[in-house]
């Protein structure tokens, strides 16, 4: 199949960078958010596009990638949402493409969307989806999309020495095959005490590939921990009280299968307490403890689709942290929370501010811009 480089791309002047990753959940969106904040401080008028998205929401009958919504709401980019998210990979998207290839149509859609996003902008940040090969099944891998947009690439990977360098080598090879230049690597989620060590030895490993190390981001547990709003959404639970603490962050969960006296010893800020909804004894103890120590929990989940007696429920409605009622049993709740893919949401102000600060302090933006 012929895959012309950029037949429909009109904008060849606006500076741009394409942020890719070595695998899913390396922190690509987190780094993109921080870079976008730094670029907005430097340039003012900045655009954003996620050409191919896999997680989307429906807005005004358009399927918009969640990350595009995040960037738009955080930075007020003044870009059309449809242009920021031109292709949403629905469940049957790949099957339909393989049945009747429409490659040229998709290329035109991506390139016209970029032109709209870049209109009157001083810089555009492009975010990929997963590793360099994601999208190959419909001929639009991240490497191919970066080429179509004439964008140089920054690769995000995770901490370690051998594994990130090896994974960067694999991804770098595909970008080179597409004729796209990788300008450097950001290593994310590095234990703070190992930053200098990783900087030195990953830097040496990347140098052997002709790639500079652009930054080392320290691991922050807060960024990997879900908020109660996210847990609420994932569990499809009912909120039983009025609360303003939906952005509470869960550090760990405790399954309430013990005597109330033992349970009280486990109530701490950051804990998600999960117990069957008919454990009136435990729930009364939690409600009483919360009156003395309002921040004793991040949140409370009543499992098994059960509710306590009305008198107990009324006391729970008065606690400040979220009280959720879930249909799953306690084990199911714990499993879903454990397996949850944590994504930053527009309302996660604390996380957003932390990300912007981390990227500003630990990523060499000047070197990125000098390479574009």
**The model's pTM:** 0.87
Among 183-197, 241-255, 332-346, the least confident range: 332-346
Q: What is the pLDDT of residue 62?
A: 83
Are 137 and 278 found together in one domain?
Answer: no
Are 290 and 355 found together in one domain?
Answer: no
The CATH number linked to 39 is 3.40.50.300
Q: Is the pLDDT of residue 160 over 60?
A: yes
Q: Averaged over 265-271, what is the pLDDT?
A: 94
Are 20 and 162 found together in one domain?
Answer: yes
Q: What is the pLDDT of residue 56?
A: 81
Are 269 and 129 found together in one domain?
Answer: no
Query: Residue 123 class from Cβ within 10 Å (0-12 exposed, 13-18 middle, 19+ buried)?
Result: buried
Are 178 and 243 found together in one domain?
Answer: no
Contacts 24+ apart (CB under 8 A), 201-209: 201/161, 202/160, 202/161, 202/164, 202/165, 205/161, 205/162, 205/165, 206/165, 206/168, 209/165, 209/168, 209/169, 209/172
Give the pLDDT band of residue 149 (cuts 50, 70, 90): very high
Are 297 and 327 found together in one domain?
Answer: yes
Asked if the structure places residue 6 within a domain, the reply is: no
Contact residues for 324 (Cβ-Cβ < 8 A; gap 6+): 228, 231, 232, 235, 237, 238, 239, 240, 299, 300, 301, 302
Are 210 and 309 found together in one domain?
Answer: no
Task: Give CA 302 to chain center in angstroms.
Answer: 28
Asked if the structure places residue 209 within a domain, the reply is: yes
Asked if the structure places residue 11 within a domain, the reply is: no
Task: Give CA 161 to chain center in angstroms.
Answer: 23
Residue 103 belongs to domain spanning: 16-220+346-370
Are 30 and 154 found together in one domain?
Answer: yes
Give the residue from 265, 232, 229, 272 showing the smallest Cα distance to 250: 272
Contact residues for 155 (Cβ-Cβ < 8 A; gap 6+): 20, 21, 22, 168, 171, 172, 182, 184, 185, 186
* Greatest pairwise CA separation for the chain in angstroms: 70
* Whole-angstrom distance, CA of residue 105 vs CA of residue 85: 15
Cross-strand partners of 323: 300
Percent of the chain exceeding pLDDT 90 equals 82
Are 30 and 164 found together in one domain?
Answer: yes
Q: What is the pLDDT of residue 5?
A: 47
Please tell me the total count of domains within the chain. 2
């Amino acid at each position: 199949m012929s895959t012309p480089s950029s037949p429909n791309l009109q904008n060849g002047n606006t500076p741009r960078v394409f942020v890719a990753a070595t695998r899913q959940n390396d922190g690509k969106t987190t780094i993109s958010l921080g870079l976008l904040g730094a670029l907005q401080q430097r340039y003012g008028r900045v655009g954003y596009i996620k050409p191919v998205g896999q997680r989307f929401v429906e807005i005004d009958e358009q399927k918009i990638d969640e990350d595009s919504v995040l960037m738009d709401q955080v930075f007020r980019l003044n870009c059309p949402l449809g242009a920021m998210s031109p292709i949403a990979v629905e469940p049957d998207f790949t099957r339909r493409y393989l049945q009747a290839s429409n490659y040229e149509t998709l290329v035109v859609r991506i390139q016209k969307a970029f032109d709209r996003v870049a209109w009157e902008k001083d810089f555009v940040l492009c975010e990929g989806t997963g590793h360099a090969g994601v999208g190959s099944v419909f001929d639009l891998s991240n490497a191919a999309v970066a080429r179509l947009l004439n964008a140089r690439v920054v690769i995000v990977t995770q901490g370690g020495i051998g594994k990130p360098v090896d994974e960067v080598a694999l991804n770098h090879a595909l970008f080179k095959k597409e004729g796209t230049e990788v300008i450097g690597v950001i290593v994310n989620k590095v234990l703070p005490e190992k930053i200098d060590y990783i900087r030195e030895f990953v830097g040496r490993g990347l140098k052997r590939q002709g790639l500079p190390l652009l930054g080392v981001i320290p691991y922050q547990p807060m960024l990997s921990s879900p908020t109660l709003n996210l847990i609420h959404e994932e569990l499809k639970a009912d909120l039983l009280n009025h609360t303003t603490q939906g952005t509470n962050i869960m550090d760990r969960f405790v399954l309430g299968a013990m005597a109330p006296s033992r349970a009280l010893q486990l109530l701490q800020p950051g804990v998600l307490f999960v117990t069957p909804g008919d454990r009136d004894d435990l729930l009364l103890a939690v409600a009483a403890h919360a009156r003395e120590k309002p921040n004793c929990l991040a949140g409370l989940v009543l499992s098994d689709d059960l509710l306590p007696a009305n008198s107990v429920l009324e006391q729970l409605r008065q606690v400040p942290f979220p009280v959720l009622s879930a249909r799953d049993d306690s084990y199911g709740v714990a499993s879903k929370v454990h397996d949850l893919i944590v994504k930053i949401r527009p309302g996660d102000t604390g996380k957003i501010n932390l990300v912007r600060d981390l990227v500003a302090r630990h990523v060499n933006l000047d070197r990125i811009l000098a390479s574009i």
